Amino acid sequence: MSDDDFTRLVEAEQRVEPRDWMPDGYRRTLIRQIAQHAHSEIIGMQPEANWISRAPSLRRKAILLAKVQDEAGHGLYLYAATETLGADRADLTQKLVEGRQKYSSIFNYPTLNFADVGVIGWLVDGAAICNQVPLCRTSYGPYARAMIRICKEESFHQRQGYELLMTMMRGTDEQRRMVQDSVNRWWWPSLMMFGPSDAESSNTAQSMAWRIKRHTNDELRQKFVDMSVPQAEALGVTLPDPSLRWNPERGHHDFGEIDWDEFWRVVNGDGPCNRQRVEHRRKAHEDGAWVREAATAYAAKSASVEEVA
């Protein structure tokens, strides 16, 4: 099969499966994209885990624990999907802790009050849903199938966040101030989750042709803004952007310019928590070495018992 035949196949919405022929570039791009996604799920456990031991009630603790555990599961499905492309999970983890592969910059921001748990659910998981729902139809079969389950769980994450914020907004002035403070800190970084503007984004055209990307960054960002504005109104919070207003001609909300210097600073490793996140991941990986050794020894033992029997 030629590259052109392959492109025609994916353009006809055919799924590509692990044993099918695929261009090297397609395989490489997918491994990088899925690994980056997997790393984001795993690193994303850290900012919220920060609040598990300080959750204000048993109910909130149980919800948060379940959510953080879901993220670990998402990471695992996605690492498994990269393995179907011939990647090695240990190698990907190594690249992450050595800073040679990236994860979503949003997780380099700190969680400063408990409302952050709600705002992360509402805005961060909300932005992730906008990015990920189209990936349920991505051309690579194992990735598309993993995304279906992930998106179902993400929508639970978003709703628990929104419900938490609703509860806080019905509480005391102090609680409402916490929510507003949190929205002020997370709104712009959430918009940055969609990546650079289309004019700056180098991989878009090829990825769109391969059907591993289905909408451009700016299209998805606009969708997220349009979705979030009525939700913010219903909550009673102000989104921190004086330029934000409905544009009847476009049928969309206009919004202000992202601080691209901050965007690139955080992407390039100089955000508020980049070092802390990677260091924590490196230590957790080292501390878990005995578990991996024990599991390998157990698997070898089970296999030899089976052979004897």
Contacts to Fe ion from residues 209-238, by CB under 5 A = none
Stretch that binds Fe ion, among 33-41, 46-54, 193-201, 285-293 (CB under 5 A): 33-41
The contact mask relative to Fe ion for 115-154 (x = CB under 5 A, - = no) is ----------x----------------------------x
- Check binding of 74 to Fe ion (CB under 5 A): yes
CA 301, CA 309: separation in Å to the nearest integer? 12
CA 138, CA 290: separation in Å to the nearest integer? 37
Q: How many residues does the chain have?
A: 309
Q: Which is nearer to Fe ion, 41 or 116 (CB)?
A: 41
One-letter amino acid at 234 equals A
CB–CB of 61/52 below 8 Å? Answer: yes
Q: Which is nearer to Fe ion, 60 or 157 (CB)?
A: 157
Q: Which is nearer to Fe ion, 104 or 217 (CB)?
A: 104
Supply the minimum distance, in Å, between the C-beta of residue 37 and Fe ion: 9
- Check binding of 48 to Fe ion (CB under 5 A): no
Q: Which is nearer to Fe ion, 126 or 195 (CB)?
A: 126
CA distances from 241 to 15, 156, 187, 251, 253 (A): 41, 27, 9, 19, 12
Supply the minimum distance, in Å, between the C-beta of residue 157 and Fe ion: 4
Strands (DSSP E) along the chain, which ranges?
Answer: 245-247, 252-254
- Check binding of 37 to Fe ion (CB under 5 A): no
DSSP assignment letter at 108: G
CB–CB of 89/165 below 8 Å? Answer: no
Q: Which is nearer to Fe ion, 116 or 125 (CB)?
A: 125
- Check binding of 71 to Fe ion (CB under 5 A): yes
* Angle 180-186-188 from CA coordinates, rounded to 5°: 115
Q: Which residues lie near Fe ion (CB under 5 A)?
A: 41, 71, 74, 125, 154, 157
